[in-house]
Structure 1
Amino acid sequence: MNAPRTRVQRRPVHGVLLLDKPLGFSSNQALQKAKWLLRAEKAGHTGTLDPLATGVLPLCFGAATKFSQLHLDADKTYVATVQLGVKTSTGDAEGEVIAERPVQLTPDDLARVAAQFTGAIRQVPPMHSALKKDGKALYEYAREGIDVERAPRDVSIHALALTALSPDTLRLVATVSKGTYIRTLGEDIGEALGCGAHLTSLRRTATGDFTETQCVTIEALEAMSEDERLARLLPAEALVAGHSRVTLGTEDAARFLSGLRRRGDWADATEVAVFGEEPAAFLGTAHVTANELIPGRLLNPIEIQQILLNAPANATLCETTP
C-alpha cells in the first residue's frame, strides 16, 4: 500500500534564495526541494547547473521570477578540476574513456594555453547539453548514439587561471560570459596541450554579484524553521542591484504600475529599477529615453502588498512530495 502524500499549504512567497546546489541534483530537483520547503506557489531558477556540478544557483520565488532572465545573462565564475591525458564521451567523469595520451606539461605550456583561451573565443556546444535541435535536447540524441552537427558559438572568457595540481591534473578558474560550457573549455585546453582532457569536478562560485559565501545548502534549509527559511530570501530587487534607480511619488507610481510612461528629469538609461516613495516598494524595471520612463517588467499591486505585509495570503491546499 502506498504511503499517503504529504499535504502542504502553498502560499505566495517572493524573493531570491541563493542555494548551494548539491552534487547529483539537477537544477530542477534542487528548485522543487526548496519550493517544497518554503511552501511556495511559484518558483523558477536562473539557469541550470549540471547534476555533477555544485555551487551558486539563484532560485526565484513569486514576483522575483519576473526578473530571472537578468541572471541568465550574467557572467559566471567556475572552479574545475581537469584530468589531462584522458578524453571521455561526455567531457566529464561520467562518460566512457574514448582516448588516452601521454602528458608532458611545462609552466610555459600553461601560460601559452591560458593566454590562448582568454578573451573572445568560439566554442562548439557539447552533445551532452540541453541545447535543442528540432525540439529535442542534444543529450537525448547523444544517448541514442546520434551526433548532431552544431554551429560554433561566440563566448568570452573574461579571466582564466590554470594551476598544475599534479603532473596530469589542473585547477581551472574561469570567469565567463553566458553560454560558455566549462566542460568544452576543459576539453579544448586538453587538445591545445596535445593530450586531451576531461573534467572531474565543477563548481560555480559566482553568478553576477552573487557568490558562494551567500549561499545556503539544502541540508541547512531542512534544519531551519519556516521563519528562518523565509529570512534567507533576498528581495526581488536584489536581481536588479546594478540598475540605475528611480523613485516615484504615489500618483506617478500608481500610473507607472498601470503601464503608463512617466516624464521626468532622468538621463537616458537602458536598465532602471523603479521604486515607490510611499510606500517604499520595488515596482519593477524600466528604461529611460528622452526623459520618459518606459515600463518593463512590473510587479502587480497584490504582489507588492504581500511583500510589504510579509504575510502569505490566499494560500491553497495542494498535494506534493519533496
Structure 2
Amino acid sequence: MARKKGRDINGWLIVDKPTGVTSTAVVAKVRWALDAKKAGHAGTLDPDATGVLAVALGEATKTVATITDALKCYDFTVNWGAETTTDDASGTVLRSSDSRPDATAINAALPKFSGEIMQVPPAFSAVKVDGERAYDLAREGEELELAARPLWVDSLLLIEAGTDTARFEMVCGKGGYVRSIARDLGRELGCLGHVAHLRRTWSGPFDATDGVAFEKIDRAEQEWLDGCLLPLETALVDLPQLRATPEGARRIRNGNPGEVTGTAEWGELVWVADADGPVCIGRYQGGVVQPERVFNL
C-alpha cells in the first residue's frame, strides 16, 4: 500500500473563513499549502458563513471530537418578513409577512430558545436521511420532514434591533443550526425570518481574532503558516491533564492501560502527557488511564 505523500505535521491552523467557500475547500487548501499528510476540521460552517474554522493536521485530527463537542459562539443577523427554502438569504422565498417585531417582543421570545431545546435542522443541511445527505435530497425537490434534535443553547442575546432586522449572539453546543433558530424565532414572533449574515466568533479555545485569512493560505507562505500553527494540546484545555509515568507512557503507547500521576473522576475523559508531550486521550480508572486515542508524535 502506497504511503500518503506530504509532511508529518501536527497541530491546528485556525482559519477566518470568508463567504462563498466551503469548509471542505478550506481544509483542502490548508493541506495543500502546508503539504500535510492528513487534515480535517472541527465543525462545518455554511458556505455563506464566516469566522472560525479550526483545521486539524496530522495527529491533531484525533482531538477533533473535543472541539466538536465544545461550546461555540455565533454573531448573526436575521431578516424579518420572509422564510426561505434554505433558511438563509441564498434560498427562494417560501412565505412572507408584513409583520415586524420590536425589541420587547423579541426579548420576550428568547427564553424559549435557551437551555435544552429541540431543534429541527434545515432541509438544506448535512443531516443524513436513509444514508443520504438532506441537502442532496432537498436539491432534487424532495420534501423532507427531519426529526427534531436536542440542542443546548447556553445563551441567546439580542444585540441590536432594527425595523426589518435584528442582530443576535448565541452560544450553543454541538449540532446547532443558527438558520433553524432564525426560522423558528420568526415563526414564534409571527413575522417569519431567515439568516442574513452569520459569523462564528469562537469555537472552544479557538477565536476568530487568531484566524489566518483565507487568501494568505498559499505554498509560498508555508514557513509563515508553520509559525501560525497551534499545538495539538490546545484542543484539550477543557479536559483534565494527567502525567504518565515512564512505564505508563510505554504501555499506553502500545494501546494498554498505563499508570499516571494525578487524579480525576473514575471513568472521566482525560488527556495524558509525559516529558515528550501528549501521549493519549483516555478514561481514568483509579491510577491508570485506558487509552482511547494514542498520539504517535
TM-score normalised by the chain length of structure 1: 0.86
CA distance in 2, matches of 1:274, 1:112: 46
**CA spacing shift, 1:150–1:225, aligned 2, 3 Å:** closer
- Equivalent position amino acid for 1:275 in 2: A
CA distance in 1, matches of 2:216, 2:114: 37
Residues 1:259 and 2:269 are matched in the alignment: no
Match of 1:12 in 2: 8
Residue 203 of structure 1 deviates from its aligned partner by 0.7
Equivalent residue, structure 2, for 1:97: 93
- Cα 1:260–1:171 change in 2 (3 A) is same
Residue 110 of structure 2 corresponds to which residue in structure 1?
Answer: 114
Contact 1:122 1:152 in 2 (8 A): yes
User: Could you say if the C-alpha distance between residues 199 and 105 of structure 1 is closer, same or farther in structure 2, counting changes exceeding 3 Å?
Assistant: same
> For residues 92 and 252 of structure 1, do their structure 2 counterparts lie closer, same or farther at Cα, with a shift above 3 Å needed?
same
Shift of 1:24: 0.7
Among 167, 186, 211, the alignment partner of 2:207 is 211
TM-score, reference length from structure 2: 0.93
Larger RCO (CA under 8 A, 6+ residues apart): 1
3-state SS of the aligned residue for 2:250? helix
Q: Which residue of 1 aligns with 2:148?
A: 152
Query: Could you tell me which of 198, 203, 211 is aligned with 1:202?
Result: 198
Q: CA contact under 8 A between 1:161 and 1:174: conserved in structure 2?
A: yes
Match among 247, 250, 263 for residue 246 of structure 2: 250
Residue of structure 2 in register with 1:276 after alignment? 274
Matched residue of 1:51: which SS? Answer: coil
Q: Separation in 2 of the partners of 1:263 and 1:229?
A: 37
For the residues of structure 1 that align with 2:278 and 2:257, how far apart are their CA atoms?
17
Gaps of 5+ in 1: 1-8, 305-322
Give distance in 2, aligned partners of 1:259 and 1:196: 53
Deviation (angstroms), 1:295: 1.4
Q: Shift of the alpha carbon at 1:105?
A: 2.2
Residue 64 to residue 239, structure 1, CA distance change in 2 (3 Å): same
Counterpart residue number, 1:189: 185
Number of positions where the alignment pairs a residue of Structure 1 with one of Structure 2: 291
After the TM superposition, which parts of structure 1 deviate over 4 Å for at least 4 consecutive aligned residues?
none
The CA distance in 2 between the partners of 1:264 and 1:158, in whole Å, is 34
| Residue in 2 that maps onto 1:228 | 224
Alignment correspondent of 1:4: none
Stretches of structure 2 that go unaligned for 5 or more consecutive residues are none
What is the match of residue 29 of structure 1?
Answer: 25
Query: % of aligned pairs identical?
Result: 34
What SS does the aligned partner of 1:68 have? helix
Aligned twin of 2:175: 179
Partner residue of 1:297 out of 286, 293, 296: 293
Q: Is the 8 A contact 1:103 1:167 kept in 2?
A: no
Structure 1 counterpart of 2:71: 75
**Which has the greater radius of gyration?**
1
Q: In the alignment, what sits opposite 2:84?
A: 88
Report the alpha carbon displacement of residue 70 of structure 1 after superposing the two structures with TM: 1.4
Distance 1:265 1:166, change over 3 A: closer
The one-letter amino acid of 1:259's match is G
> Could you tell me whether the CA contact under 8 Å between 1:11 and 1:41 is conserved in 2?
yes
Give 1:221 deviation, angstroms: 3.1
Conserved 8 A contact 2:249-2:259: no
Deviation at 1:223, TM superposition (A): 8.7
Aligned to 1:312: none
**Which residue of 2 is the match for residue 320 of structure 1?**
none
Q: Which segment drifts farther, 247-256 or 288-297? A: 247-256
**Conserved? CA contact 1:79–1:174, under 8 Å:** yes
* Post-superposition offset of 1:78: 0.5
Letter in 2 for 1:172: F
Answering whether residue 61 of structure 2 is matched by residue 65 of structure 1, we say yes
Which stretch has the larger CA shift, 162-171 or 205-214? 162-171
Q: Deviations over 1:70-124 (max 9, x none)?
A: 1111111111110001111111111111222113322320221122211121111
